[in-house]
Structure 1
Amino acid sequence: MILSSCNNKKYKPEGLTKLSETELIERAKQKRRPDMQTVIFKNERGEALNFDSLLTIQNPEQWTMDNYADGNGEVKEIIIRKATAEDLELQERIRKAFTYQPPVELVDIDCAQKQEILQAVYESDQGTRTNGTMDPEIDRKNLTTVISLIENCGMPTLNEVNKTQMTAIWLTIQHGDHENRKKYFPLLEQSAKNGDLRSTEIAMMKDRILMGDGKPQVYGTQITQKDGQWVLYELSAPESVNKRRTEIGFGPIEDYLKRWNIEFNVKQVQ
């Protein structure tokens, strides 16, 4: 498969307009993606590329895509080419825009019904994940409910709700957007210090936040995909991760990673 060429004459689709940076970022915020079943992929020479073969590209982070749309704004062709430093910076902005969520609009909450509300949130969250899938609309609805409860009634404790219902708060914020996860992390961290949440839950959220910020994780709880394979997300001081995991209440990372068939061979310090 030929992606690029030394030919200085670059192919440009006729009758189509290249999407600008502003348009790409706005579409990312709207979660608007091209229809990959109808888009034609080409290299810089204008030669068509098979979509399935693109999935096998080595070092995909070194490539970028120029989107060309028709008069109705529908992307019809995508040109694959080598990424420049500016392209990589734009890709990061697009990634952040895609995870953007508008501010949560608070709803009325009956503080006397905390247990019932959080129990329903827990069942809703877990109900969408029993088969390994998720529903962003349900997650957003749950996030609105939980944040509204916290803002209107204060952070619950185990004197007011049970462990499952407290876990519902953690689950909802963990499954929510990055900004709200960062915003409410200190409250959840304090709840763990008070004994209302498990330290392991806070460790998982900390790792998720670090990953969202593009920084190495601490406890090795976050998995990502690279070249179609599950891999451990970047880890800080991997030689002492099991020491940190033990201190927080986790088992060895080697056992944890087995569920994704990921091997971890970094010798651990005692």
Structure 2
Amino acid sequence: MKKIIIQIIVLTTVSVVYSQDITKQIDSLKNEGLLMAALQQQYKLLAEKPSEDLHYDIASTYALLWSSQARDSAFVHLHKALKNDASLQVLYDPHFLSLIEDERWLAIENSQLKKYEIQNNLIQNKSFALKLFRMIIKDQGFMYVGNIERKKYMKNGGYFSTPAIYPILAMEEKNHNQNTEELLRLLDENGWPTASQVTEYAAAGAALIINHTNYKIRKKYFPMLEAAFKKGEAQPLRYAKMKDRLLIEEGKEQL
């Protein structure tokens, strides 16, 4: 009996270490931009140890490939991943930028909101919340490619490794400008989004985007964020970041 227990412990330990090794390999491949190689390892792990988390990771890898066939596969795995998931994480995950203009994304949004509301409070302004979630994805969506190239830029002594980065940077700027224009319009129409209105996650998106604009805009809308923060309706981190940024821009010491 003692031998059997020891064998079980050893096998379990080996299995855990093996899974961790493959996970590290996958992360390393994705950090290098080797998405197809990462997918091969993910499928290998899925065959041995299927899980909803792994389906989610595979979906995010497919989404980063930006092809119609890859999007189809991303949605297949997303449905499996979200079967028992009542969170809103997928709605602001920047890996899924390539999916948000697809009509199938609407079904994902509606399904997650419905499951979330069953387990939590009703979202008072769902339309505003969904717009903010998409803005977060657009704000952060190109960072995967951008960050890979920025690392290479530093290693290459101030040169990008491929000219493909330039249209990516242009698309980042376009998304940024569209986000800013739409958000300012929504803020003027609805006021600052509070956690109780749109969820804490969506509300944080407004501060994120405003903080990526300029001093004039930040100065104008900061009082709205501050009022929400004082009522416990805004993330302290977002408030602190914008407050400190404004102080520095005004030549003062940050708090």
**By percentage of residues, which structure has more helix?**
2
Q: Which has the higher strand share?
A: 1
- TM-score of the superposed pair, with normalisation by structure 1: 0.37
Which has more radius of gyration? 1
State the TM-score, normalized to the length of structure 2: 0.39
